[in-house]
Copies of this chain bind each other. A is one copy, B any other.
């Protein structure tokens, strides 16, 4: 039986990516070596790093003045690292609180400087995206979480803020075109839309750096990683390579424009099934619905296990909702195809 992977992260990878990754784990390009046992300073790994950067630039249309880094530590380390690099202790940055991940970003930023929570949707268990957000012009940046993995909401458009944006795009990077010039930093753990856990993508405007007065520990200083093309120390080579394989797959499938079309079609299909079904309902405000993480509940929660076991019988894994929302969450990242969503819809439709 085919398995349909709806995990929220680590998450689905394209079939051809898995095959190529397995080959590289065994032997990389007739070198006689696994990619996992090759020096990060070897010609082969250097070429991988360069292509990963170049393809990121191409797919996201990144302008001059920005640098692309592949780091370790996950998005959670970026919560701290972005603030450490950009928020001086006398200053106050603006943060938009749209869920659990925003809250964690806020917590870590407070260790570095002032934090002004300029908007929050905590009043409704984060089921919407705040509108008309006012950001003081004095803020060095405003931090947003573009897609809220747990609550299934997403900024449909990035508002026009008057200050640079720092964005956690962990769960929707490469899912749609973005205007990089609005941002000072974009970061994303690889393990949702890009690759396996262990690599973290950071896109940073060089001009935004070097302005804080504190001394930075080497491993938390973007400038050192820029200087060393991400390899200030040994990088997570295999995770970066699998991310590169995914970037190639995205390019082959129409780039981020191809992805947004595909993602819109999948999301429409699934939300329609939820809306039309008498037993299910969506949790997120309609206009803020995520195209990546679709959260829905049963009007009769007592039947949840029954639905989960119907999913399991159909080869569907990973649809149990996060405990802070309950119910179900179908994560339909780039690599999920329409057939996977159709399979889930079929199970929903037979569930009466």
A residues contacting B by CB (< 8 A) are 1-3, 5, 7-13, 18-19, 21-23, 25-27, 31-34, 36-40, 42, 72-77, 79-80, 104, 107-108, 111, 189, 191, 195-199, 215, 217-220, 232-239, 242, 315, 317-318
Among B76, B218, B239, point to the contact of A80 (Cβ < 8 A).
B218
Among B22, B32, B36, point to the contact of A3 (Cβ < 8 A).
B32
CB pair A10 B38 closer than 8 Å = yes
CB pair A34 B18 closer than 8 Å = yes
Among B39, B77, B215, B217, point to the contact of A9 (Cβ < 8 A).
B39
Expressed in whole angstroms, the minimum distance between the Cβ of A47 and any Cβ of chain B is 15
Chain B residues with Cβ below 8 Å from A318 are 39
Expressed in whole angstroms, the minimum distance between the Cβ of A241 and any Cβ of chain B is 10
Chain B residues with Cβ below 8 Å from A235 are 197
Among B1, B5, B189, B196, point to the contact of A237 (Cβ < 8 A).
B196
Q: A218-B107, A236-B197 are in contact. Are A13 and B39 (CB under 8 A)?
A: no
CB pair B73 A39 closer than 8 Å = no
Cα–Cα distance between A40 and B190 once the two chains are bound (Å) = 13
Chain B residues with Cβ below 8 Å from A33 are 3, 5, 317
Cα–Cα distance between A319 and B240 once the two chains are bound (Å) = 25
From A8, A73, A238, residue with most partner B Cβ within 10 Å = A238
**What are 7 contact pairs spanning A and B, CB under 8 A?**
A3-B33, A10-B36, A19-B26, A22-B25, A72-B73, A77-B219, A108-B218
Cα–Cα distance between A48 and B189 once the two chains are bound (Å) = 21
Cα–Cα distance between A175 and B93 once the two chains are bound (Å) = 48
Cα–Cα distance between A57 and B10 once the two chains are bound (Å) = 27
Chain B residues with Cβ below 8 Å from A199 are 198
Cα–Cα distance between A34 and B1 once the two chains are bound (Å) = 15
Chain B residues with Cβ below 8 Å from A2 are 32
Cα–Cα distance between A82 and B34 once the two chains are bound (Å) = 32
Cα–Cα distance between A315 and B32 once the two chains are bound (Å) = 9
The 8 closest A-B pairs by CB, nearest first: A3-B32, A198-B236, A36-B196, A76-B233, A22-B26, A22-B25, A198-B198, A72-B72
CB pair B13 A34 closer than 8 Å = yes
Cα–Cα distance between A317 and B234 once the two chains are bound (Å) = 19
Chain B residues with Cβ below 8 Å from A26 are 18-19, 21-22
Question: Quick one: closest B residue to A34, CB to CB?
Answer: B18
Can you name 8 extra interface pairs (CB under 8 A) apart from A7-B39, A22-B34?
Answer: A2-B32, A18-B25, A22-B22, A22-B26, A36-B195, A37-B196, A108-B218, A108-B219
CB pair A219 B40 closer than 8 Å = no
Question: Quick one: closest B residue to A38, CB to CB?
Answer: B10
Cα–Cα distance between A239 and B74 once the two chains are bound (Å) = 14
Question: Quick one: closest B residue to A112, CB to CB?
Answer: B217
Chain B residues with Cβ below 8 Å from A25 are 18, 21-22, 25
